[in-house]
Amino acid sequence: MAEQIININTIDAYNKAFGIETRHPLVSIVEMAKAHPVVDLNATTTYHYGVYAIFLKQTLCGDITYGRQPYDYQEGTVASFAPGQVVTIKLHPNVQPDAIGLVFHPDLIKGTSLGKDIKQYSFFSYSSREALHLNEDKKEIFKDCIQKIRQELEHPIDNHSKRLICRNIELLLDYCLRFYERQFITRKAVNKDVLERFEELLNTYFEDTNSYLKGLPTVKYFAEECFLSPNYFGDLIKKETGMTPQEHIQAKIIDLAKEALLGTEKTISEIAYQLGFQYSQHFNRYFKRNMGMSPSQYRKA
């Protein structure tokens, strides 16, 4: 069976695909059990998101592939997607999807506190094994937030509609942020494995005699090596250590630089090249920004 490709650039486009009434041009509540899909649910479908979406899956009805890996999407799982993301869904045969959620257009939150802070909800970019799993109490909180938004959408649009809708969306996302932070805590053993893997990778990155060919290490590199998205990886490391991955990388580079400056006769340019800097001037600025003095000043001091 051929794969369907659905572009979701507007709320109306999403609603039409699933036979949902459009009550507001920029936001919609989704109840899959009550929807009347126009798309073929038996076909593998790839969605190109141009809107924000967050769903609570209430039954195990299919598989989601986010990027190149399967999403950990079971019963009681929350999945969230942001504009620019591509998601592939394959439902199990003869199973009615049952999910409740929300889709909203980026234009809805422009000029609001939610629009200003939307990047703090980094779970919109989580993927693979990083889904949020809710118990019954948390599911009720999720549904209650959705119901508040639904009630507002059932009223005629007025001067207060946008602000109240955005505030309730913000409340929902804040709860999800809290739930994710608690999930980080309950997954201490898994988190410890990731942290140890990160430390091992960071230590061995510069041990390779050809490390200079790879350039400076990036957060994306370490996240991929741990099979995590950069945002999830960053949040996990920050939660476990109090420092961001970038701060860990900077500290490692500075330690190696100081060791080379004091323990070898290598020139500043040779040290810079060895650490992965393309230009010694870049290394000089990097070192001074972190140490308050240039590499040559540090060596003399």
In sequence order, what are the beta bridge partners of 57? Answer: 77, 99
The pLDDT tens digits along the chain (301 residues) read: 567 888 899 999 999 988 898 989 999 999 988 888 777 767 788 888 899 999 998 765 555 555 544 454 455 788 888 888 877 777 766 666 778 999 999 999 999 999 999 988 888 765 444 678 888 899 999 999 999 999 999 988 888 999 999 999 999 999 998 988 887 776 666 677 888 889 889 888 887 666 667 788 899 999 888 888 888 888 888 888 888 999 999 999 998 999 889 888 899 999 998 888 888 899 999 999 989 999 999 888 7
Domain boundaries defined on the chain: 4-186, 189-300
Whether 98 contacts 59, CB under 8 Å:
yes
For the CA atoms of 146, 147, 153, 158, the dihedral, rounded to the nearest 10 degrees, stands at: -100
Bridge partner list, 54: 80, 102
Residue 172 neighbours by CB distance under 10 Å: 21
Tell me whether residue 39 is exposed, middle or buried, using C-beta atoms within 10 angstroms of its C-beta: 0 to 12, 13 to 18, 19 or more: middle
- Residue 192 main-chain phi, psi, to 5 deg: -65, -40
CATH topology of domain 189-300: Arc Repressor Mutant, subunit A (1.10.10)
pLDDT at 128: 40
Question: What pLDDT does residue 81 have?
Answer: 86
pLDDT at residue number 68: 46
In contact, 198 and 234? CB cutoff 8 Å: no
Count of other CB atoms within 10 angstroms of residue 103: 24
Q: Do domains 4-186 and 189-300 have the same CATH topology?
A: no
Question: Which of these CATH numbers, 3.40.50.300, 2.40.50.140, 2.60.120.280, 3.40.1500.10, describes 4-186?
Answer: 2.60.120.280
Task: Report the alpha-carbon distance of residue 279 to residue 163 in Å, rounded.
Answer: 50
